[in-house]
Structures are given as C-alpha cells and as structure tokens.
Structure 1
Amino acid sequence: MTPTLALPTISAVGSIDAYIQAARQFPLLTEEQEFGLATRFREQSDLGAARQLVLSHLRLVISVSRGYLGYGLPHADLIQEGNIGLMKAVKRFDPGRGVRLVSFAIHWIKAEIHEYVLKNWRMVKLATTKAQRKLFFNLRSMKASRDALGPLQVADIAHRLSVKPQEVLEMDTRLTGHDMAFDAQTEDDEAFAPAAYLADNSSEPVHILEARARERLHNEGLRNALGNLDPRSRRIVEARWLSDENPATLHDLAAEFAVSAERIRQIEVKAMQKMRANLAPLAAST
C-alpha cells in the first residue's frame, strides 16, 4: 500500500510550514465516514478510501512529531516517519472493533518515530532493551532542570522506571552531551567554538571551592534525609539504591525482614516520598 498512495510531501510543497498548512486543509472525518472508508479498504482493497483515511490524519502526525523536536532531528524527517506509522495503522485498522482510527494510529505513529530517533540521534547506543528505551524517552521530562542529576534524583528515577541507577547516570550523560565542532566553520564574529576558549574555568580555585561546597551540602542533605527514616526504611533505601555493588532486590529484603516483597515495595515508596519532602528545601535553595 505504501508506494501506491500518492500523498503530499514536504519537498513537493516547498517548506514544512506550507506542508502543515496543506495538511490542515484536509477535513476531519465523522465516525460514520471513517467507518465507511475503513470498511471499503478492508473488504475491497480500495486505495482511494485508504488515502482519504491517511490524509484526514496528517495533522495528527504533525502534532505527535512535535513532541520529539528536542532530540535535534529534522522535523520533516520526524513527520515522514510518523506518516509511515500512520499508513501502517490504516492498513491494520479494523473498523469493526469500535475504536476510532485516531486512538489506534497513535501507537503506530509513535513506534515509527521512536525507531527513527533511536537509530539516528547522536550518541545513543544504550537504548536497546525495553526498560532502556523507556528511560531514554522519559528522562528529559522527569528531570527538574538541565543540571546533572544528584544521588537522590538518580535513585528516584531508577525506581520509577525500573532500571539500574548506573543506567540513569549513563543516559543522563548522553542526553546532556552536545556535539560541537572544535573549530567553528563560519566567519560570524559572534560564533564560538572550543578552539576559542581552551582554558578550563572549572580548574579555577573559586569554582573548585564552590563545587566542593555544593557537593558537601547535597551529601549532608542526603545523610539528614536518611537519618529521619526508621532503621528498616533506611536499610531498604540504602540496600536498594545507594549500594555501590549489586543492589538488593525486593525479594532479598523480603527474606531479610520476613515480610512479603510487596510490603518491602510499600515501605520503599513511603521512604522515598519522605526523603523527597525533606530534601525539597535544599533543592529550592541550590
């Protein structure tokens, strides 16, 4: 179906703005119209009906693709990949299930864009498992700022996404890294590149002292937050998220305390909530 459908492309209309305007010209379908077109395509292989279904949902692809602009990839390419997902959705759509195409298509659109981002975004080689992919696409939105993550933030995100703390740190390093040419290839006097500022300001004594002070403050805050926990809760948090080697599993701690794994999970959740509350004033002041 894909090579046969004649659809508007960004290169054909001249610019992405013109493409967006063109996509908005195609009317949305009523539920009855959508059902009729989907039935014609499914039962009669009517490509004209399939084309109408795709055209009426181009604006959905544009909307979804905007959520992936932060990865530095061309918007036009994101839209193109999303359109492929849309066409796959139309091909597999069953109108008899009582679900609108818009709900069914979002999964396919996002799946194609996800694959494109993972294959083409600079530096990303880590996101190969399902958990790592979830981490890749959620870490940016879960961070409170663009600064490096602190130990408690790492532990909290790792817990919420069911990955290892080290994986959170590695992915955060990849996401906050930036590619830049060593020598700027431009005559613009305002442009800058590493070659123009080789001095490492972080080595200046004042910056070193400030960094040490911040680190000491955060470490003291973490110790105080742990100190406000009862012994069992503190043991669970330290064993699960602050251990340098082989973090304990829920079942390991369940055996240690002679309770269920679910009970350990509940204690852990409450402990993390209490620690976040204790650290909130510190986070606001730094």
Structure 2
Amino acid sequence: MNPTANATTLPAPTTWSQALTIPPLGNLDAYITAVNRMPMLTPEEEVSYARKLRDEGDLEAAAKLVLSHLRLVVAVSRQYLGYGLPQADLIQEGNVGLMKAVRRFDPDRGVRLVSYALHWIKAEIHEYILRNWRMVKLATTKAQRKLFFNLRSMKQGFKDDAEHESHRETLSTREIEAMARELKVKPEEVVEMESRMAGGDVVLDPTPAADGEEAFGPIAYLADTQNEPTAVLEAQQRDALASVGLANALAALDPRSRRIVEQRWLNVKDDGSGGMTLHELAAEFGVSAERIRQIEAAAMKKMRQSLAAYA
C-alpha cells in the first residue's frame, strides 16, 4: 500500500455524476486515487454552493463541497502517520471534521472553505489520536495538547541541530526551557509530558505464559489490602483486644497474678528481650519457681476466658 499517491500522475478529474463511485476506505490506494480525481471548485462555485446549503438546506450542494475537499483530508492525515495509527482511520475522522466545517461555513466571511475546514479536520484527528494512542489519555488540558502534538517534532529539531548528541533520548535543561518558551508552557509541564510519552501501556493483570508459568503484573503490588473489609475488621478486633480487652482481663486478676503476667509478658526490656524470669519472680514473692509457673498458667487461662468476649 502506497499512502502517498501523487495526484499529478492521475487521470483527469471525474465528473460529479461519477463522484458517488468513490471506493470505501478499506482499499486505501483506490480511495486516495479517487478523491484526488474529484473536481476542484472555483471560488464562485464554492460561494454559490455554500449559500445554497445555508439558505436552502441543499444537500447536493453540501455533497459537492465535501467531495471537492476530500483530498485536503488525505493530505492532512499524512502529517500524523508517525503516531502509529492507521491512515484510513485518520482520514475517516478527518472527513467528520470536514463535514462539520461545511455545515458551519459562512461564505460571506470572505474566507475560502479550505482555510476554514483545516481547523476542523485537524481538531477531529487530534481528538482521535488522543483517544486511541494510549489506553490512558495523555493530554486533557490545552497546554498538554499543545505539548503532545509538538514535543516529538521539536525534540527531533534539537537532535538535528546537535548531531553529536543524536543518541541522547532525553531533553537537556536548555532544551526544556527553550521548548517551554516556544510553546508558552511551564518547564515542568514539558518534563511531565516527555515522561508520559516515553512510557507505555502496562497490563495490570497479565494472562499466564504459554508454558504455564504465572505471569507477574502490577496488580500483584498495587492492590490495597489495608481498606479491604476483612482486614479492617481484623484490625479493629486487634485494637480492641490490645486495649480494652487486655485491660479488663488484667483487672480480673488478683494483684500477685497481675504482677507476674505483667513482668513476664508485658514489660519488654529496651534491648528487646523478655521480662523477669521465673526465678526472679520466685525470689520476689518468696516461693518456688514452679509455684510462679503455676500461678502464671492459671492467670493466663483466666485472661483467655475474659478475652474470648472480644474475639
């Protein structure tokens, strides 16, 4: 497929009666050949047809205005082939813009339709590219759109001016500031758009590989488990056990049992080691270490029963 067919090598223009035989966009070469053979309108004819459309709603006049400018859409579409989208789709969107321009065109303004339609054609193609170039829309504000459609060409111009740096992909501080001045945007907006365009779409949950191995994707580390309902309930339960539940369970113990439990399990030393040993507590209360162990076991059992109400 040759998307750059030269109109100068084509046969003579068709007549209006043959215009309705334009092939569909599925055959792009044939379509481009056909639209380049459409008759061109003189300024007088253009004004006459535009007035018929405006004043009388003449659809045949509208069709002649559209058909005679289809070659303009093809020419504009070639400027956007570098975005990797099918030219047929670009032409189709540009044709929508052309039809909008014809509907709004005022022949008494003294402006040719080709100049007026250019804005509408580019606007529709721009919107199509922004919607389909990436899964996530990169440019939403006016400044971002301006950067999106000028960044690549200006970046290439910097490389052409400094061939010894042509291998460098990122913009220098001087180039960023120059681009910001040229486009009347902030330097940080240039940096942000460059990083957006340099990135690519990432599948959050990739399908398993052909060999059966499980594929790893961002979904594995982007999931927020902190706000998951079960995790929230578990955290609330832990907090209740560690505060109110533990305080009530300790309050149900006699002073000696509470002292033993606190010193054995709740008073952690600065070095991270545990509390007092059985022998240290035995010496404090004047009983054997075995007796301290028995008291501790009975106290822990009583506390578990008290904490069961919070489980």
- TM-score by structure 1 length? 0.57
Which residue of 2 is the match for residue 166 of structure 1? 188
Which residue of 2 is the match for residue 94 of structure 1? 106
1:71–1:9 Cα change, 3 Å = farther
**Structure 2: distance between partners of 1:91 and 1:15:** 28
**Structure 2: distance between partners of 1:17 and 1:179:** 32
1:203-231 Cα distance to aligned partner (Å, 9 max, x none): xxxxxxxxxxxxxxxxxxxxxxxxxxxxx
| Cα offset, 1:86, TM superposition | 0.2
Checking the alignment, whether the CA contact within 8 Å between 1:27 and 1:56 is kept in structure 2 is yes
1:171-214 Cα distance to aligned partner (Å, 9 max, x none): 112333456999xx9xxxxxxxxxxxxxxxxxxxxxxxxxxxxx
| Cα offset, 1:93, TM superposition | 0.6
1:74 to 81, 86, 89: 86
The aligned amino acid for 1:122 is R
Checking the alignment, whether the CA contact within 8 Å between 1:7 and 1:55 is kept in structure 2 is no
CA RMSD of aligned residues (A): 2.6
Identity %: 64
Runs (5+) with no aligned partner, structure 2:
1-18, 160-167, 210-311
Give the SS at the match of 1:19.
Answer: helix
**Structure 1: distance between partners of 2:202 and 2:140:** 26
**Structure 1: distance between partners of 2:199 and 2:39:** 42
1:169–1:13 Cα change, 3 Å = closer
1:149 to 171, 174, 177: 171
**Structure 1: distance between partners of 2:150 and 2:21:** 32
Checking the alignment, whether the CA contact within 8 Å between 1:85 and 1:111 is kept in structure 2 is yes
1:55–1:179 Cα change, 3 Å = same
| Cα offset, 1:104, TM superposition | 0.6
1:180–1:73 Cα change, 3 Å = farther
**Structure 2: distance between partners of 1:13 and 1:179:** 29
1:238-257 equivalent positions in 2, closer than 5 A: none
**Structure 1: distance between partners of 2:69 and 2:52:** 17
1:165–1:8 Cα change, 3 Å = farther
2:125 to 113, 117, 122: 113
Checking the alignment, whether the CA contact within 8 Å between 1:62 and 1:79 is kept in structure 2 is yes
2:49 to 28, 37, 56: 37
1:76–1:100 Cα change, 3 Å = same
**Structure 2: distance between partners of 1:112 and 1:80:** 9
Checking the alignment, whether the CA contact within 8 Å between 2:26 and 2:88 is kept in structure 1 is no
Which residue of 2 is the match for residue 16 of structure 1? 28
The aligned amino acid for 1:54 is V
The aligned amino acid for 1:36 is S
| Cα offset, 1:137, TM superposition | 0.7
**Structure 1: distance between partners of 2:144 and 2:130:** 11
**Structure 2: distance between partners of 1:113 and 1:126:** 15
The aligned amino acid for 1:68 is Y
**Structure 2: distance between partners of 1:7 and 1:132:** 40
2:149 to 125, 132, 137: 137
Give the SS at the match of 1:141.
Answer: helix
**Structure 2: distance between partners of 1:168 and 1:94:** 38
**Structure 2: distance between partners of 1:113 and 1:87:** 13
The aligned amino acid for 1:148 is T
**Structure 2: distance between partners of 1:13 and 1:114:** 20
1:13–1:127 Cα change, 3 Å = closer
Q: Which has the larger radius of gyration?
A: 2
| Cα offset, 1:163, TM superposition | 2.1
1:7–1:154 Cα change, 3 Å = farther
1:56-102 Cα distance to aligned partner (Å, 9 max, x none): 00000011111111111111111001000000000001111111100
Give the SS at the match of 2:97.
Answer: helix
1:177–1:126 Cα change, 3 Å = closer
Question: How many residues align structurally?
Answer: 178
**Structure 1: distance between partners of 2:21 and 2:142:** 34
1:18–1:177 Cα change, 3 Å = farther
| Cα offset, 1:113, TM superposition | 0.8
The aligned amino acid for 1:48 is E
